[in-house]
Amino acid sequence: MGEDGKVEVATFACGCFWSKEYFLQQQEGVLSTRVGFTGGHLDHPSYRQVCTKATGHAEAVEVTFDPQKTSFQALAIFFFNMHDPTIDRRSKGGQYRSAIFAHSTSQKKIAEALREQLCTQGYDVVTQIEMASTFWPAEDRHQNYCAVRGFTPELRLTERLA
CA dihedral over 10, 13, 86, 79, signed as positive or negative? positive
Hey, which residues are catalytic here? 16
pLDDT of residue 89: 75
On whether the CB atoms of residues 98 and 14 are closer than 8 A, the answer is: yes
* CATH number of the domain bearing residue 51: 3.30.1060.10
Query: What gap in Å lies between CA 114 and CA 117, rounded to an integer?
Result: 5
* Residue 113 maps to a domain: yes
* Residue 43 maps to a domain: yes
Query: What gap in Å lies between CA 97 and CA 109, rounded to an integer?
Result: 20
CA distances from 51 to 16, 58, 60, 135 (A): 11, 10, 13, 16
* Residue 157 maps to a domain: no
CB-CB neighbours of 94 under 10 Å: 21
* Residue 90 maps to a domain: yes
pLDDT of residue 15: 87
Domain membership of residue 25 as a residue range: 8-149
On whether the CB atoms of residues 72 and 10 are closer than 8 A, the answer is: yes
* Residue 154 maps to a domain: no
3-state secondary structure string across the chain: CCCCCCCEEEEEEECCHHHHHHHHHCCCCEEEEEEEEECCCCCCCCHHHHHCCCCCCEEEEEEEECCCCCCHHHHHHHHHHHCCCCCCCHHHCCCCCEEEEECCHHHHHHHHHHHHHHHHCCCCCCCEEEECCCCEECCHHHCCHHHHHCCCCCCCCCCCCC
pLDDT tens across the length of the chain (162 residues): 556 779 999 999 998 899 999 999 999 999 999 999 999 999 999 999 999 989 999 999 999 999 999 999 999 999 999 999 998 876 656 799 999 999 999 999 999 999 999 999 999 999 999 999 999 999 999 998 988 998 888 888 788 887
* Residue 117 maps to a domain: yes
